[in-house]
Amino acid sequence: MQLFDESLGITSLVFLILALVLALSFEFVNGFHDTANAVATVIYTNSLKPTYAVVWSGCWNLIGVLLSAGTVAFGILALLPVELVINVGSGAGFAMVFSLLISAIIWNVGTWYFGLPASSSHTLIGSIVGVGLANSVITAGHTFGDGVNWGKLQDTIVALLLSPVIGFVVSALLLLAMKALVKRPELFAEPEKGHPPHPWVRALLILTCTGVSFAHGSNDGQKGMGLILLILIGVVPTAFALDLGLNSKDYQAIVTQNAAAGSVIHKLAGTDPVSSQEAADTINAYLKNSGKVSPATFPAIDEKNGEIAAALKGKAGLADVPKSRRTALRSNIYLVSASIGKLLKGHAIADADAAKTLAGYKKALDKATNFIPIWVKFAVALALGLGTMIGWKRIVVTVGERIGKSHLTYGQGASAEIVAYGTIQAADIFGLPVSTTHILSSGVAGTMAANHSGLQAATLRNILLAWVLTLPVCVFLGSLLFAFGLRIVAALGMH
């Protein structure tokens, strides 16, 4: 079958369809949890009817997804084992994608069924760690844990752990500030069943719902986008391995900086030539967690950078690169960019000017591979919206009635959502995935504490238990399903 100007065999086509369905199913289930949190306050306070709230939230999720820069998506991909990302079209690559998605969906559906606001971010990251650990055990030549980007994982977990604390504390402080500054009792009343709040309170809650929906789309929506792009790269590389629509200015920046950075790298490499395969093996070894700079590191980077220069020579743009060479070019760009990134992070380049040149080159290279097609953004936004329409009620009831001993007031809902919006937007700037669920439910708990409303111990215990168990359970599921997936692809004769 001809798809995206590439001929696909029946097996590849089946894998493509199944993988895309699973990736969109992950975002659909994500709508049960995280997007449901975005509409919880407007539905619970009768500010909008459920149908209107979900459609409104879905539209702003879409806008958030469309305007997102993709930094979170590629931050998620940076957690994956390097050799599986490079060879995502292999049997092991397919096993990785399927195990990630299936384990994440299993846990998300389970926690949603019991009305527990669990984190899709924690779920996906736990699955990624499980795949990385399993890959390091199963694959020859690895030490345990080599398949996990521990540095990036540490940054991600810190963000995931700090964001609920910020949600709790700042939401509590904001509510207290509101009480001190806004002398309008209608803002701090409990919702009357079937009756909307005062018009200005209603407008405030719709505004905060809009902000959280937009922020959720710009952060959480990117997780599915990154995985879908990975799938497309593996199955349809001639169309998606490179950003074929890269503008001429950015393309020329790659060509120009390839030469400038090449001079720096060549000087560091010396004159010892290496073969293409030796270079790839050396860089792969260096990019492992245990990898160190060695005399072979710079010659290997020099070789791969030379291959990039040869592939681009005489081309007006990436679309001019022959289809048969696009996958190899992407792999070389990924290896050079990742190795430069590790060198700079480890301060292995002593000369400040050389480090600046290499940093500029890495930034230019990343534009060739870090892109999200517009139709993928629309598909993810649609999946999020449909998931919210179907699964919002369980989470809305938990947020509105089961966290505090009294029902959620208008001011509490507004405080929690304002803080959730600000926290998620800040995380976007740094390319860190955070949990809308954790921030908002923690924010509601914080406002309950500040209001002396009391907290329901049973609900909080169950939510905390779900939070604590998410990572280890998904690590286990991810590793188990990856090992099982490797057996399946081996039985199918995929390599």
Average pLDDT over residues 126-151: 77
The answer to whether residues 449 and 349 belong to one domain is no
The answer to whether residues 273 and 381 belong to one domain is no
Assess whether pLDDT exceeds 90 at residue 321.
yes
Q: Cα(243)–Cα(140) distance, rounded to whole angstroms?
A: 33
The answer to whether residues 188 and 39 belong to one domain is yes
The answer to whether residues 79 and 107 belong to one domain is yes
pLDDT of residue 1: 41
Average pLDDT over residues 225-235: 83
Assess whether pLDDT exceeds 90 at residue 322.
yes
Give the whole-number percent of the chain exceeding pLDDT 90.
28
Return the H-helix or E-strand segment holding 7: strand 6-7
> Please, which residues bridge with residue 41 across strands?
none
The answer to whether residues 224 and 262 belong to one domain is no
Is the four-CA dihedral 39, 41, 43, 44 of positive or negative sign? positive
Q: How many residues comprise the chain? A: 495
Average pLDDT over residues 188-198: 83
Assess whether pLDDT exceeds 70 at residue 341.
yes
Which of 326, 347, 369 represents a domain boundary (last residue)?
369
The structure tokens listed for 33 are 């949890």
- The string over 23-60, giving b where at least 16 C-beta atoms fall within 10 Å of a residue's C-beta and e elsewhere, is bbbbbbbbbbbbbbbbbbbbbbbbbbeeeebbebbbbb
User: 244, 252, 307, 255: which is closest to 279 by C-alpha?
Assistant: 307
The answer to whether residues 329 and 361 belong to one domain is yes
User: 492, 403, 342: which is closest to 37 by C-alpha?
Assistant: 403
- 359-369 tens-digit pLDDT: 999 999 999 99
Assess whether pLDDT exceeds 60 at residue 4.
no
Confidence of residue 280 (pLDDT cuts 50, 70, 90): very high
User: 75, 65, 380, 36: which is closest to 218 by C-alpha?
Assistant: 65
The answer to whether residues 400 and 264 belong to one domain is no
- 429-465 tens-digit pLDDT: 777 777 777 788 888 888 888 888 777 777 677 767 7
Q: Cα(408)–Cα(420) distance, rounded to whole angstroms?
A: 16
Average pLDDT over residues 312-320: 94
The answer to whether the predicted template modeling score (pTM) of the entire model surpasses 0.75 is yes
The structure tokens listed for 285 are 């070894």
pLDDT of residue 358: 96
Q: Name the residue range of residue 185's domain.
A: 2-235+372-491
Assess whether pLDDT exceeds 90 at residue 354.
yes
Assess whether pLDDT exceeds 70 at residue 128.
yes
The answer to whether 37 and 212 are in contact (CB under 8 A) is yes
Assess whether pLDDT exceeds 70 at residue 415.
yes
The answer to whether residues 318 and 386 belong to one domain is no
Which of 369, 385, 400 represents a domain boundary (last residue)?
369
The answer to whether 444 and 404 are in contact (CB under 8 A) is yes
The answer to whether residues 360 and 212 belong to one domain is no
375 vs 361, more confident: 361
Which of 345, 369, 393 represents a domain boundary (last residue)?
369
Q: At what angle do helices 297-312 and 248-269 cross, to 10 degrees?
A: 150
**Tokens 């936004």 label which residue?**
381
The answer to whether residues 376 and 475 belong to one domain is yes
Assess whether pLDDT exceeds 80 at residue 283.
yes
Average pLDDT score, the chain: 83
Return the H-helix or E-strand segment holding 57: helix 50-67
Which amino acid belongs to residue 287? Answer: L
Average pLDDT over residues 349-365: 94
Assess whether pLDDT exceeds 90 at residue 90.
no
281 vs 152, more confident: 281
How open is the CA angle 54-159-75, to the nearest 5 degrees?
Answer: 80
Assess whether pLDDT exceeds 60 at residue 7.
no
The answer to whether residues 388 and 470 belong to one domain is yes
Q: What is the DSSP letter of 96?
A: H
Q: How many domains does the chain have?
A: 2
Confidence of residue 120 (pLDDT cuts 50, 70, 90): confident
The answer to whether residues 217 and 73 belong to one domain is yes
Assess whether pLDDT exceeds 60 at residue 6.
no
Q: Cα(324)–Cα(303) distance, rounded to whole angstroms?
A: 20
